[in-house]
Amino acid sequence: MIELAGLSRTFEVGGEPVHALVEVTETIAAGEHIALMGPSGSGKSTLLHLIGCLDRPSAGSYRFEGREVSALSERELDQVRQQRIGFIFQSFHLIGRLDARANVELPMVFAELSRSERRQRADAALQAVGLAHRAEHRPSELSGGERQRLAIARAVAMRPAVLLADEPTGNLDSRSGGVVLDLLERLNDDGLTLIVVTHDPKVAHRADRVLLLEDGRVVQRVARDQLAAVLAGRELAETAPAAPAEPDTRATRATR
């Protein structure tokens, strides 16, 4: 479904190039659940934005469902974003003046679906995330976990092939976060390709495999059953005390 070959993204900051992503080559199959991990500034969100067609690469190739993304017009990119890719963000990005149903319907308005089709899909999406009884409530009347479930309902109402989630549990307590992760896993089990940016090992452990990024590069690819050992090893390496410096014996030798 997703084929990246030498994908790079460079920004100019203060007249100097900043290499946010460097020659990433990766294939993600339909139905996979992938987690992206790495320290702040490692390129996780940049990679997610490129996969989501929110940005264009500086170099390299990105093929989505067999189509070279760089060859698509802006109109075609809009169609891909509307119809094939769903987005979930840590801060929800809900419209406060709209109720839950209207928030879910909003992307379908831009896609020019009929009113009856929008209502049917919105109600089905709210039912799927357990919020049918909250359809007429505004975001301010919902808990954090409910707001994230509402954001998921909005993301899947257009029936995308890929769901991209940037720290989906970052603003949630452990119980609400668990509910959201269970929901994402059910969607993945139903065939939805899921790509999650996270700093939380508990979230990453749910993925089929994990891509570890540093300085814009994928430095390691880790299967689920290997993740605990790999992360523990990295933490030990990062916290290990520096080796003691060898004593300088030059002065001693000079006085002999």
Region at 60 (left for phi over 0; alpha for psi -120 to 50; beta for the rest): left
**Per-residue pLDDT reduced to its tens digit, 172-183:** 888 888 998 999
Q: Answer whether residue 248 is part of any domain.
A: no
On whether residue 240 sits in a domain, the answer given is no
Average confidence (pLDDT) over 177-203: 92
CB-count exposure of residue 83 (10 Å: 0-12, 13-18, 19+): middle
169 and 150, same structural domain?
no
Residue 114 scores a pLDDT above 60: yes
- Residue 46 domain flag: yes
The answer on 174 and 79 residing in a single domain is: yes
Look at residues 159, 189, 208 and tell me which one is the last residue of a structural domain: 159
The size of the chain, in residues, is 256
Domain match, 6 and 132 both: no
Taking only the tens place, the pLDDT of each residue in 23-69 is: 999 999 999 999 999 998 899 999 999 999 999 999 999 999 999 99
Mean pLDDT of 8-26: 92
The answer as to whether 237 is a domain residue is: no
Same-domain status, 27 and 16: yes
32 assigned to some structural domain: yes
> Is residue 244 in some structural domain?
no
Q: What is the domain count for the chain?
A: 2
pLDDT (average), residues 79-89 = 91
Q: Containing domain of residue 148, as a range?
A: 85-159
Average pLDDT over residues 190-205: 92
Residues 59 and 28 in one domain: yes
Question: For residue 146, is it within any domain?
Answer: yes
The span from the CA of 5 to the CA of 63, in Å, is 9
How many DSSP H helices and E strands does the chain contain? 9, 10
Question: Smallest Cα–Cα separation from 178: which of 213, 211, 203?
Answer: 203
**89 or 123, greater pLDDT:** 123
Last-in-domain residue among 94, 127, 159: 159
Is 242 within the bounds of a domain?
A: no
Report pLDDT for 234: 66
CATH classification at residue 60: 3.40.50.300
Q: Are residues 149 and 226 in the same domain?
A: no
pLDDT, tens digit, 9 for 90 and up, residues 218-254? 999 998 888 888 877 765 455 445 545 545 544 444 4
pTM passes above 0.75? yes
Give pLDDT tens digits for 137-169.
999 999 999 999 999 999 999 999 999 999 988
Per-residue model confidence (pLDDT) at position 254: 45
What H or E segment, with its residue span, contains residue 80? helix 74-83
Q: What is the pLDDT of residue 244?
A: 52
